[in-house]
Structure 1
Amino acid sequence: MSSPPHSIPLYLVNGVATVWDAQTAATLHCVHNISGLRAGTLPGVAQQNGFLGLPLTLMQEETAYLVTQGIAHLVPLDPNPSPPSAETIRAHTAARVARLKALEERTREAEAKRQEESKKAFDKGGEKARLKREARARAKAEKAKADGEGLFAEDDKGNIITAASAAASSPAKTKVKTKETGGAPAPGHFHIVPSHPVLSQHPCGSSGSQPQSITSVPHPLFPFPTTPRQHALLGVFATLQSLSYRVGLGPRFGGEWLIYPGDYLRYHAHFTSQVIVRDEPIKPTEIVAWGRLGTGTKKAGLICCWDDGKRQDGQDNQEEKEEDVEFYSLEWANFG
């Protein structure tokens, strides 16, 4: 199925949606309140989580939400692509080396041109300043001679002209307004990273054709949501999005998600959530555990009760009821 116009491509790798373009990641973060998790790193340089880069991986709830809202579509990629041939590697390496050499050559030419223009401007300004100083020295010598200083005037004239010439030859004492030129980067190593995977080299179909876009979920390549709990996760996530909350991963804090009042780069999480499906019972010990867990992490517990109008045995209720989500905050004693 073809994707709608202006839809964001999410590349599906082993059931995980990924984003490879920095501008797309920024759009998801700033416009759609989807932050994801960065997973890119260098194989030989271990980095911390705060310094990871592209690709951006999305939670199942984030992926399903974007697809159901028509914001994005899924592009499946072959999880086991065939390795490139030796000829392809040599051609790619030669093209990369040629591109780097051409870039460094352009950089050197730009730097040489900038230095030449700066030198010309300096010489031009220095010559004008020297002529002005010599003219002032001659005028002063002629005035002194006219006042009757005699031989001393001639000596002073020669000394003044000599001093002016020496000052003109010293660049440190000459104020020259050079022409402003754009700074060129120093020669170095540059490497261009493609924004998207090369789909022609990673066909998903056996015939080698371009993979078809996925515009609805669940799908055999992305089986979410299928179970009642997965539907509850998606329903609660969509409701929190409609309330302008931002949702992040929360297993390390003992909950489904961490819930932020805005951009997680600006705010701390206010809640750690627990999702309750339909009429699922809650044990008193669980309430105590969730309350103490939230308090221990300087957060409030948020119980998200999702009801799709169906009973636990799968039968529909007598009354027609739409899907609904109710939220209950839970705080323990001595909070904060």
Structure 2
Amino acid sequence: MAESIPLYVVDGIATIWDAQAVATAHCAYDISGLRAGTLPGVVQQNAFLGLPMTLMPEEAAHLVKQGAAHLVPLPRVRPPSRAAVAQRTAARVARNRALAYAAWADEDARAAASAAKAQGVGAEKRAARALKRAEVARDKALADGEDAESVRARYEAAVAAATAPPPPVAPRERGTPTSENTNLFAVVPAMPVVDLWEEEGRGEVEVEVEGEGEGDGKTGLGQHAGAGDPASASSSVQYFPRSVRDRALADTFAALNARGLRMGLGPRFGGEWLVYPGDYLRYHAHFTSQVIVRDEPIRPAELVAWGRLGTGTKKAGLLCCWDDGVRKDETVKSTERKDGESDVVFYSLEWANFG
């Protein structure tokens, strides 16, 4: 257990937080996972995400079954109360306003330094040219017979203006920092707010699942057990797979993994998984998988849809037929197990587009 990978289960989701553990799962067990971490200040950093790595239920169950990982249930994270949200919001606003004031002060200092530098370059030459123009204007006015006192007054005013120091640069009036006059206030996504009195004593509804051990109070991965134990919701991951379909998914995942294939999320492409021949950073997916449990009927329209969907996305449809030999007699409502363990048979499906 000391050498196995710790899977920290948060609200039914298994995660890996250690880079070396991620590399071990990736290279030794062909588990690619999904990176979910990003930088707080670069919320759109979606090209190369980082830790933690989240795992599908099938991936977590496969690692645990192989003895490569163990579960570390964590308490559920409760939504913050209104008082906590208000307090943290006020602290965030005060911190951002302090940053805005500091940025504005730095901007004003830079503007003053730039203005002083611009005024200092060639200031003596500009003053000399202004004095020269004042002398020429004085001499011309005296030659034209103007009053000597008025000419002298204009000349002294021109000399004072030419030799006066430049006026200081006044800081800009910006008012109070807000989201309209600064870019330091980011829009915070909406989040649930629960009052403390609403949270007290609130329980979770247990989910009944099909399969062995029905009615034992256990639930599957991602489903919450009853309240009371803070780790109960997270520890439910250890009971995956629970339903018949969960077992079919786990067995099919293990069968594909044993063939050196890697699985990624596939609902966006209309399947259970996207099946890759290797690391998804190096290869495109070759298949979109559909898991058929036991003797489920398949409609011809579904075959056509799966084939056309796979061909439209430049992938082949992969039918994964799982059977454990169990059949339910609808007349007596009992189950009968046949000899043999569960088995998975694969069929590829492509749309030829004939006609």
| TM-score (norm. length: structure 1) | 0.56
Give the deviation of 1:51 after TM superposition: 2.1
Give the deviation of 1:78 after TM superposition: 1.5
Which residue pairs with 2:305 in the alignment?
289
| TM-score (norm. length: structure 2) | 0.53
Partner AA of 2:313 in structure 1? T
Give the deviation of 1:40 after TM superposition: 0.9
Q: Deviations over 1:80-123 (max 9, x none)?
A: 37999x9xxxxxxxxxxxxxxxxxxxxxxxxxxxxxxxxxxxxx
Which residue pairs with 1:325 in the alignment?
344
Aligned length: 207
Please state whether the residue corresponding to 1:291 is helix, strand or coil.
helix
Partner AA of 2:59 in structure 1? E
Give the deviation of 1:47 after TM superposition: 2.0
Please state whether the residue corresponding to 2:47 is helix, strand or coil.
helix
Give the deviation of 1:41 after TM superposition: 1.7
Given candidates 313, 316, 332, the residue that maps to 2:336 is 316
Which residue pairs with 1:264 in the alignment?
280
Give the deviation of 1:207 after TM superposition: 10
Q: Deviations over 1:235-256 (max 9, x none)?
A: 0000011111111111111100
Q: Deviations over 1:201-245 (max 9, x none)?
A: xxxxx999xx89x9xxxx635442111001000000000111111
Given candidates 21, 31, 35, the residue that maps to 1:34 is 31
Over 3 Å counting, the alpha-carbon distance change for 1:221 and 1:298 in structure 2 is closer
Indicate whether 1:65 and 2:81 are aligned.
no
Give the deviation of 1:267 after TM superposition: 1.3
| Aligned 8 A contact 2:12 2:236 in 1 | no
Which residue pairs with 1:56 in the alignment?
53
Which residue pairs with 1:305 in the alignment?
321
RMSD over equivalenced CA pairs, Å: 3.0
Partner AA of 1:31 in structure 2? A
Give the deviation of 1:31 after TM superposition: 1.1
CA distance in 1, matches of 2:246, 2:294: 12
Give the deviation of 1:265 after TM superposition: 1.6
Indicate whether 1:76 and 2:73 are aligned.
yes
Please state whether the residue corresponding to 2:327 is helix, strand or coil.
coil
| Aligned 8 A contact 1:294 1:300 in 2 | yes
Over 3 Å counting, the alpha-carbon distance change for 1:299 and 1:207 in structure 2 is closer
Over 3 Å counting, the alpha-carbon distance change for 1:280 and 1:82 in structure 2 is closer
Over 3 Å counting, the alpha-carbon distance change for 1:321 and 1:81 in structure 2 is same
Give the deviation of 1:26 after TM superposition: 1.1
Which residue pairs with 2:222 in the alignment?
none
Identity of aligned residues (%): 66
Which residue pairs with 2:289 in the alignment?
273
For structure 2, list consecutive stretches of 5 or more residues without a partner in the other structure: 89-227
| Aligned 8 A contact 1:270 1:300 in 2 | yes
Given candidates 246, 266, 269, the residue that maps to 2:262 is 246
Q: Which runs of 4+ in 1 moved over 3 A?
A: 81-84, 219-223
Given candidates 43, 53, 61, the residue that maps to 1:46 is 43
| Aligned 8 A contact 2:39 2:45 in 1 | no
Give the deviation of 1:52 after TM superposition: 1.6
